[in-house]
Amino acid sequence: MKRLLIIGGSDAGISAALRARELDPDVQVTVIVADRYPNYSICGIPYYLSGEVQAATDLAHRKAADIEAAGIQLLLEHKAEQVDASSRTVTVRDTKQQLTTLEYDTLILGTGAVSVCPDISGVDLPGIFTLRWMGDTFDIERYLKDKKPRSVTLIGGGYIGMEMAEALSRRGLSVTVVEYADSVLTTVDTDLGQRVKAELTRHGVQVVNGVGVQAIESGSDGRLEIKGSNSFTHVTEMVLVVVGARPMTNLAASAGIPTGLRGAIKVNSSMETGVPHIYAAGDCVETWHRLLNAYTYLPLGTTSHKQGRIAGENAVGGKQEYAGSLGTQSVKVFDLVIARTGLHDADAKQAGIDSFSADTEVWDHKVYYPGARKMLIRVTGEQRTGRLLGAQIIGHYGAEVSKRIDIFAAALFHGMTIEALNDLDLSYTPPLSSPWDPVQISAQNWLQQC
């Protein structure tokens, strides 16, 4: 019986396990999980901490019993410590500190990423947290219940920072966001990030830009004093550090697997590493960017699921290839939704592409039907050819922003021109859209301006 061993029980690992068992019911699949929470939605954590999701168990894509019912063995609370590629073995340690050696015919690394912990003096003081895994979630929840802080400061204004700003505001805390860049949400253009800042401010969140946090000190009253560049000081009762993630690749190093960007594991389109019989997928690997025709580091849940499925299929004899990512993302911040896909002008310029962007402010559906809201769509295309390069959208929650960014993402995937967007047969009914969808209206505006 073929032995497939998978390290990591999140999106990539479980997707790989399920796909392998689906295609080969005889394969023996074992998944090593460092904690007790396999297949939990990390993306859903802010909504649990906000109270919108009532039970932590609801964050599980699948319960452990469901995974095991598919014929997959779960080794919960087991930490993989070393991979010996020559003998095809993995050494694991359980909670009793006992070591076990597991043999494999094929190995998949889905070890994910860990929170970046910046070089800040005092970052390990009580009341300071990072957020990546369910263990972090429960630590934060306990602190909120036991200490009952009235204020919290988020260091970092990315996706998790934005979601947690809303989540902790919903819990009644006074929230401050400190971001080094000139705007929050730096994956979109600065002026769009400023709109997000305005939305945060409108809901009582204080946003401080252009400050690099240098130190955190504990006061005699138990509160924390944050000190940063430009003589910045701020007193708070709790700190959440959310400045990004880095790939967890220490096991890959132990196996002699080549790494690349940010230390992420190098893989080919079949999710094979540079070592025979070992695949890797998810937040621990480099990701092929479909537009840039180059590898990058894009730790996204959607990407992890796709890559894991391909690794699982190929591990049992398949021939699938990963088609590449476009960096499609969306986030809800209070009453706004912000989404992007592909390249914006700065990305295109860095890649040596002569791009042009045009903004279109358009109603999300026919204005005569109640509840119509305006959204801003920024389309980016190649000036010479009219090739679609990317899009950014910001609009009111409920205005189908994600639907529109997905149309752009599908068009990008198939290499469409901006003009070709007008040929798409998109749905229309007055409460939801217009005869020309906002995507098409923004395409027409780009063509007029370019």
154-178 mean pLDDT: 97
**Contact (Cβ atoms closer than 8 angstroms) between residue 370 and residue 432:** no
40-52 mean pLDDT: 94
67-85 mean pLDDT: 96
12, 88: one domain: yes
pLDDT at residue 108 is higher than 90: yes
The CA–CA distances, whole Å, from 262 to 53, 246, 278, 341, 446 equal 34, 7, 20, 22, 36
Distance CA(314)–CA(268), nearest Å, equals 12
136-155 mean pLDDT: 97
Instruction: Report percent pLDDT > 90 for the chain.
Output: 96
Positions of E strands within 250-342: 278-280, 287-289, 294-296, 329-333, 336-342
Q: Which of these three, 241, 260, 276, is where a domain ends?
A: 241
Distance CA(191)–CA(195), nearest Å, equals 7
At residue 178, the pLDDT reads 98
84, 105: one domain: yes
Nearest to 390 by CA among 377, 401, 375: 377
- The band of 219, judged by pLDDT with boundaries at 50, 70 and 90, is confident
97, 178: one domain: no
What are the tokens at 335? 């009453």
- The band of 253, judged by pLDDT with boundaries at 50, 70 and 90, is confident
350-379 mean pLDDT: 97
Instruction: Report percent pLDDT > 70 for the chain.
Output: 100
397-405 mean pLDDT: 95
Q: How many domains does the chain have?
A: 3
Containing structural domain, residue 416: 336-449
At residue 355, the pLDDT reads 97
The CA–CA distances, whole Å, from 150 to 36, 166, 297, 417, 447 equal 31, 15, 36, 51, 51
Report residue 189 CA to chain centroid gap. 18
**Contact (Cβ atoms closer than 8 angstroms) between residue 29 and residue 110:** no
At residue 262, the pLDDT reads 93
Positions of E strands within 204-296: 206-209, 213-218, 224-228, 232-236, 239-241, 245-247, 278-280, 287-289, 294-296
348-373 mean pLDDT: 96
At residue 117, the pLDDT reads 86
Q: How many residues does the chain have?
A: 450
Distance CA(409)–CA(418), nearest Å, equals 12
Strand partners, 106: 4
237, 250: one domain: no
425: left (phi over 0), alpha (psi -120 to 50) or beta: beta
**Could you tell me the sign of the dihedral formed by the alpha carbons of 175, 178, 184, 190, in that order?**
positive
**Contact (Cβ atoms closer than 8 angstroms) between residue 360 and residue 395:** no
227, 283: one domain: no
pLDDT at residue 100 is higher than 90: yes
**Neighbouring C-beta atoms of residue 175, cutoff 10 Å:** 26
16, 96: one domain: yes
264, 311: one domain: yes
442, 355: one domain: yes
**Could you tell me the sign of the dihedral formed by the alpha carbons of 154, 156, 157, 161, in that order?**
negative
276-317 per-position pLDDT tens digit: 999 999 999 999 999 999 999 999 999 999 999 999 999 999
Please indicate, yes or no, if residue 67 is contained in any of the structural domains: yes
430-442 per-position pLDDT tens digit: 999 999 999 999 9
What are the tokens at 302? 């959607």
What CATH number should be reported for the domain holding residue 434? 3.30.390.30
**Could you tell me the sign of the dihedral formed by the alpha carbons of 272, 273, 279, 280, in that order?**
negative
At residue 371, the pLDDT reads 95
Distance CA(277)–CA(17), nearest Å, equals 16
Please indicate, yes or no, if residue 328 is contained in any of the structural domains: no
2 φ, ψ to 5°? -70, 135
What's the mean per-residue pLDDT of the chain? 96
pLDDT at residue 261 is higher than 80: yes
154, 295: one domain: no
160-170 per-position pLDDT tens digit: 999 999 999 99
At residue 366, the pLDDT reads 97
Please indicate, yes or no, if residue 402 is contained in any of the structural domains: yes
18-43 mean pLDDT: 96
Query: What is the CA angle 393-246-412, rounded to 5?
Result: 30
Distance CA(364)–CA(221), nearest Å, equals 50
Nearest to 10 by CA among 247, 304, 298, 264: 304
163, 211: one domain: yes
384, 280: one domain: no
At residue 254, the pLDDT reads 82
What CATH number should be reported for the domain holding residue 183? 3.50.50.60
Distance CA(265)–CA(247), nearest Å, equals 8
